[in-house]
Every structure is written in structure tokens, then in C-alpha cells.
Amino acid sequence: YVLTQPPSESVAPGKTATITCGGNNIGSESVHWYQHKPGRAPVLVLYYDTDRPSGIPQRFSGSNSGNTATLTISRVEAGDEADYYCQVWDTGSDHPVFGGGTKLTVL
Amino acid sequence: QITLKESGPTLVRPTQTLTLTCSFSGFSLSTSSVGVGWVRQPPGKALEWLALVFWDDRYRYRTSLRNRLTIKKDTSRNQVALTMTNMDPMDSATYYCTHLLWYGESYYFNSWGQGTLVTVSS
């Protein structure tokens, strides 16, 4: 199973960032999203498409339908600049699959 | 609070064997629907899962590295060890220990250690 993410996205502060994750019928899968800043541990920002772990701002939201899952970051802040990865569980092979990551730049 | 900490050598010679240990707290690997895994990130590249071990003693290895990897758990000591044989400079990366949880129909990486940078060089 292959997950496809755009290598980069850019957004101005205060605007909305949209990061996509494409996969064959990904809408039938549970998609999880991670934020990874340089030199830091990755952080889970969304699980099961739309659920936020405690401590993750409501500005982070998600959707998943058809062949595309989306991570949306509203009112983007400079601190949101990071790499973002999507992940699913390949039930056929019983192992995780990561997308290639998207570098979000805050202009 | 879940914490994970990786330990092991920072420099490994080519062809040598790497052994990393993950010491964790805040959860037990004997609890249903829990796992511990290793994920790495080579410089400038994407996250890459390597090996996973679950509460029910199941193991999963990345297919391309299956012949070189061994993951072992010590539930009583709250530790998981990863062994990778025949190290190559291409294996230079930051290695992360992770805590996995099962939700719905999927495991996800709930918590991550800070990572340890391993360099393979002669």
C-alpha cells in the first residue's frame, strides 16, 4: 500500500494549511498524522482520521474520503512549521505504512 | 505519562552489528493492544518503520530489512531491544523508539522517544 504526499506546502501566518495524503481507497482506512520538527521527536497530531490527542490544538483537524485524506491546520502559526507524515495500517500485510512526508513552510 | 528513551552506540563500523535498547515507562507491554516499535529517519529522508513487537508476542519486520533485524522484548524490565546486523553507511539515521496503540482497525504511533543518532563509518 502506498501513501503519496506532496513534498512541500507553504502558507502565510494566520491562513489555513491543507496537507493531503493519497492512497487507493484510503477513505476506508484509519489515517494518523504526525508532526516532526528538526531535532525533535515526532508528535501524533491526529489519529483515526479526525481525533486529536490531548494537548493538540483544535486548529488541527482532519478528513478522509475516497482516495484522499487531509490534514487541515487553521490559523497557522510559525510554530507549525514542520514535516507532516500520514500513516495507515496495512491490514493485509499487518504493518504500518508512512507517507513520504510534507514539509510545511510558514511564510 | 509515557516516556521512551533510546540508548546505544552513536558510531558503528561498517559490517558491525548495532544493538539499541529502548527503556520505557508509563505502560506495560503485557497490556492488550499495545506495541513498541523502532522507526528511523536517515538524514533528509522520510520516516521508515523497522520492527514492531506487540503485547501478544507478535513481531513485524520491514520486509526489505527482515534478514538483518531482530526485536526482543523484556516485559519485566520494560525494555525492547533492536539488533541490526551488517551495518552500512546507508543505515546512518536517527533511530526512534515508539509506543503503539490499537484503535479501531489500526495501530498508530502514540508516543515517541527523543531518538538516537547512529552514524555508520569506518
Which residues of A, range 54-83, sit inside 8 Å of B by Cβ?
none
Option in B49, B62, B109 nearest A44 (CB): B109
| Percent of chain B at pLDDT exceeding 70 | 100
Query: Given CB atoms, is B59 within the 8 Å cutoff of chain A?
Result: no
Of the pLDDT bands very low, low, confident and very high (cuts 50, 70, 90), residue B103 is confident
DSSP summary character for residue B33: T
User: In whole angstroms, what separates CA B49 from the centre of its chain?
Assistant: 8
Query: Given CB atoms, is B109 within the 8 Å cutoff of chain A?
Result: yes
Query: Given CB atoms, is A48 within the 8 Å cutoff of chain B?
Result: yes
Per-residue pLDDT of chain A (107 residues; tens, 9 = 90+): 999 999 999 999 999 999 999 999 999 999 999 999 999 999 999 999 999 999 999 999 999 999 999 999 999 999 999 999 999 999 889 999 999 999 999 99
Query: Given CB atoms, is B113 within the 8 Å cutoff of chain A?
Result: yes
- Residues of chain A contacting B62 with CB distance shorter than 8 Å: 95
On the question of pLDDT at B49 being above 90, the answer is yes
CB contact under 8 A, B109 and A96: yes
Summarised one tens digit per residue, pLDDT across range B71-99 is 999 999 999 999 999 999 999 999 999 99
SS3 B60: strand
Centre a 10 Å sphere on the Cβ of residue B114 and count the other Cβ atoms it contains.
14
Average pLDDT over residues B3-13: 97
Q: Do B61 and B69 touch, CB atoms closer than 8 A?
A: yes
Specify the pLDDT at position B105. 83
The alpha carbon of residue A82 is apart from the nearest alpha carbon of chain B, in Å, by 13
Average pLDDT over residues B4-18: 97
On the question of pLDDT at B58 being above 90, the answer is yes
What's the CA gap between B7 and B14, in Å, rounded? 19
Q: Identity (one letter) of the amino acid at B63?
A: T
Q: Identity (one letter) of the amino acid at A105?
A: T
CB under 8 Å to A23, separation ≥6 — which residues?
Answer: A1, A2, A3, A4, A29, A67, A69, A88
Which among B119, B47, B57, B48 has a CA at the least distance from the CA of B90? B119
Specify the pLDDT at position B110. 96
The alpha carbon of residue B40 is apart from the nearest alpha carbon of chain A, in Å, by 11
Rg (CA), chain A: 13
What's the CA gap between A30 and A10, in Å, rounded? 26
On the question of pLDDT at B27 being above 90, the answer is yes
What's the CA gap between A56 and A45, in Å, rounded? 6
Query: Given CB atoms, is A14 within the 8 Å cutoff of chain B?
Result: no
